[in-house]
Amino acid sequence: MFKNNLLLAIGLLLLIQLTTCLPKPTSSESEEDNIIPYGTSTAMSSVSESAVPNGCKRLEANVFKGHINFLNFCLRRSNQIAKNVLADPSMNRIESQAMEYERNTLTKYVKDSKQALAMVLPADKNGRNDRFFFAMGKDFVLEDFNGFYRRRASTFEVLTPEQQVSWEALKKHGALEYNAEMKKRSKEFASHIVDEFDNYMKTLPAAEREKEKELYEVWDKYTKNKLEFDKVELGEKLFLELFQYESDK
């Protein structure tokens, strides 16, 4: 969702590795326990509510929380699917370099996604750019699985026997359902951004509207049904506006 260029993502991931602490989850934590609904104040436990400014900064912070929730959901589900696929007997019926590549790719993803899930944004690194880098680090890891899935789900290329084995195992262990749920949650997240945006604009004092003139004009058209795109599309455009690298120049 909302991809930036690959070279930037690689650089961001390296930065995350230098700045992020990795807590060890307790054995009592289940997958569903860690899924936090969009917009809740507990989405990032390292950031207290009192530390989040009001106004547009709070809107940006809420968008970040929802984005991290979405990424963590995808990382958890894809991690489990990858582990289940690796444990499937079919993945060991062919002995070839190509099959070893399939297994090694998934093995690496299981390790990397577990680390990405454990990443926590340090309390003293909560600026807009810090949040951007942090989320891009998780997103970059997730793309390894999503790319693996897309290439084997492609209808434009003939799969090798090894890729076909992986594809059948992916389908067997819930990859199609995961992909459908990911798309569903992506749309829900985009709609949630619009709801957060609507709440923000409704409470924006008249004296502050000039500072947020462009956003206010978008909101005004949205409330009057004058936009040329639907709610999900508006949410995606707002995401790109509210969640991006902020250059010092």
Q: Are 82 and 110 in contact (CB under 8 A)?
A: yes
> What rounded mean pLDDT belongs to the chain?
80
Q: Residue 204 — pLDDT band, cuts 50, 70, 90?
A: confident
Residue 208 has pLDDT above 50, yes or no: yes
Residue 141 is assigned to a structural domain of this protein:
yes
CA distances from 104 to 14, 108, 117, 138 (A): 22, 6, 20, 20
Higher model confidence: residue 213 or residue 113? Answer: 113
CA distance 28 to 15: 31
> How many structural domains compose the chain?
1
Residue 27 is assigned to a structural domain of this protein:
no
Q: Say what the pLDDT of residue 175 is.
A: 98
For the chain, percent of residues with pLDDT exceeding 90: 57
Q: Say what the pLDDT of residue 173 is.
A: 98
Q: Say what the pLDDT of residue 54 is.
A: 64
Q: Say what the pLDDT of residue 26 is.
A: 36
Residue 107 is assigned to a structural domain of this protein:
yes
Q: Are 94 and 161 in contact (CB under 8 A)?
A: yes
Helix (H, G, I), strand (E, B) or coil at 21: strand
Residue 8 has pLDDT above 80, yes or no: no
Provide mean pLDDT across the span 228-233.
92
Q: Say what the pLDDT of residue 35 is.
A: 32
Higher model confidence: residue 249 or residue 106? Answer: 106
Residue 44 is assigned to a structural domain of this protein:
no
Instruction: Name the nearest CA neighbour of 25 among 108, 119, 111.
Output: 119
Q: Are 140 and 9 in contact (CB under 8 A)?
A: yes
Residue 42 is assigned to a structural domain of this protein:
no
pLDDT in tens, 61-75: 889 999 999 999 999
For the chain, percent of residues with pLDDT exceeding 70: 76
Residue 179 is assigned to a structural domain of this protein:
yes
- The whole domain housing 131 covers 7-18+53-242
Q: Say what the pLDDT of residue 150 is.
A: 96
Q: Are 148 and 110 in contact (CB under 8 A)?
A: no
**pTM across the whole model:** 0.76
pLDDT in tens, 37-55: 333 322 333 333 333 346 6
Residue 31 is assigned to a structural domain of this protein:
no
Q: Are 126 and 45 in contact (CB under 8 A)?
A: no
Q: Residue 162 — pLDDT band, cuts 50, 70, 90?
A: very high
